[in-house]
Amino acid sequence: MLVTSALTRLATATTPVDRTTAYGSHPDQVYDVRAPSGPARGVTALVVHGGFWRPAYDRAHATGQSEALATNGFHVATIEYRRAAEGGWPDLRDDVTAAAAAVVADEGLPDPVVLVGHSAGGHLVLWLQHHPAVRPALAGTVALAPCADLHLVHRLGLDGDAALALLGVPPEDDPQAWDAADPARLGAPPRPVRILHGEADDRVPLEVSTSYLEEVGGDTALGMLPGVDHFALIDPTSAAFTRVGEVLDAVSPRLGFSS
């Protein structure tokens, strides 16, 4: 009930999106674009929502987060992707890469791009940063309470073993597929990665992020936030959301602002 209440609040929009653009023929193969509501940074925030990769959770709960980023000068592209009850990784993987390629090619959106993902969306942006579809335009990645170590998410059985549902088979049956889908097995990131994780997160424990950093090294950093739960990091009304803005400033290029 608390999760449902949080998602309902986060899905409340105060302004409509500027446009919704399709990158494929399926109804979920779309992304919403918001232009900056004030001076523009000249940077696109590509937002990937969470929800443990499950069909019940769509981009609606990233509404407040996306609006706030636009208010702070970002062009925002909030992507949707196909989600399945079991074994959905191949379609989901193909969708996020196709969506990223479409956003990078979108003439109405500036380069460079900063990837922003929460929870399962954090897993997806940490994975996506390694893909050639986005890497040439990528400035950095911000992951919020991410499912960053997929093998650990499985071992902890988070959300009824959502990681097993995503891949469809346990890691011992297809270790190659699991390694390819797990950001913690992909090596050092190509651009700076900044992670924020609440110490009071009971949905994705902090140890999932610390494990990722131990595995990959490189230009990575973790901000551990005392007393912060799972959803505060995408709630613009929370004190923790201020830290999100600070981290985005840190990884965004110093391009200045334009009207």
d(CA 121, CA 211): 17
Task: List, for residues 61-113, the tens digit of each pLDDT value.
Answer: 999 999 999 999 999 999 999 999 988 999 999 999 999 999 999 999 999 99
Nearest to 133 by CA among 153, 115, 152, 160: 115
d(CA 124, CA 107): 24
Task: List, for residues 27-53, the tens digit of each pLDDT value.
Answer: 999 999 999 998 999 999 999 999 999
Alpha-carbon distance values, 32 to 21, 60, 112 (Å)? 6, 10, 18
Structural domain including 17 reads 2-251
Express as a percent the part of the chain with pLDDT over 90: 89
Task: List, for residues 117-162, the tens digit of each pLDDT value.
Answer: 999 999 999 999 999 999 999 999 999 999 999 999 999 999 999 9
Has residue 1 got a pLDDT over 70? no
> Domain total for the chain?
1
Mean predicted confidence (pLDDT) in 15-30 = 97
Question: Does 257 fall in a domain?
Answer: no
Q: Say if pTM beats, i.e. exceeds, 0.85.
A: yes
CATH number at residue 180: 3.40.50.1820
Has residue 7 got a pLDDT over 90? no
* Helix extents (H) in 106-239: 120-128, 150-156, 158-167, 175-181, 206-216
Task: List, for residues 46-55, the tens digit of each pLDDT value.
Answer: 999 999 999 9
Question: Does 168 fall in a domain?
Answer: yes
Question: Does 110 fall in a domain?
Answer: yes
d(CA 65, CA 256): 22
d(CA 44, CA 56): 27
Question: Does 259 fall in a domain?
Answer: no
